[in-house]
Amino acid sequence: METEFAALAASGATTLVSLMVTDSWTQARAVIGRLFSRADAGGTMIADLDATRTRLLAADAGDAQATREITDRWNTDLYRLLQTASVTSAELHEALTSLRQLVNTSVARPVPVYNNVNGGVQHGPVIQSGRITGLTFHVRDTSVPVQD
């Protein structure tokens, strides 16, 4: 039973944290909020969800440590809900199924991509796919000598 609880909690935490940075967060928050409301009469867990989401959004896109810390924290909380029987494994599994459906339909916040091509004259195509906005080219005038 402990192994099942650990696997469910880990999967739930990972899915929850991945949804924190998407457009589906409001729906995910409602799904997980129903679970937490059973064990959290004061509503502090919902406030904690919002605070950790704010922290995650403020972190750099590649901040793996912040993501890992937040995931570990919610893993612990979900595991505790299962251990104290505040939530059954079937209820958490059902919520996790709903969250996974949201993952499949959500769009993550855009992350800026910066490409630098340098080192002299480049001959050949440069290809970047996806939505391209705010494209800026900085071209050095080669007719003007470079002064060191």
111, pLDDT greater than 60: no
For the purposes of burial, counting CB atoms within 10 Å of the CB of 63, is it exposed (0-12), middle (13-18) or buried (19 or more)?
Answer: middle
**pTM recorded for the entire structure:** 0.66
Q: Which residues of 86-115 are buried (b: 16+ CB within 10 A; e: fewer)?
A: ebebeebeebbebbeebbeebeeeeeeeee
Q: Which residues pair with 108 in a beta bridge?
A: 22
131, pLDDT greater than 70: no
pLDDT band of residue 107 (cuts 50, 70, 90) is low
Question: Between these two residues, 78 and 132, which has the higher pLDDT value?
Answer: 78
Q: How far is CA 87 from CA 16, 31, 47, 91, 132, in A?
A: 16, 13, 19, 6, 44
Q: Under a CB-based contact definition with an 8 Å cutoff, are residues 104 and 62 in contact?
A: no
- Region 87-107: mean pLDDT is 85
Residues 55-78 pLDDT 10s: 988 887 668 888 999 999 999 999
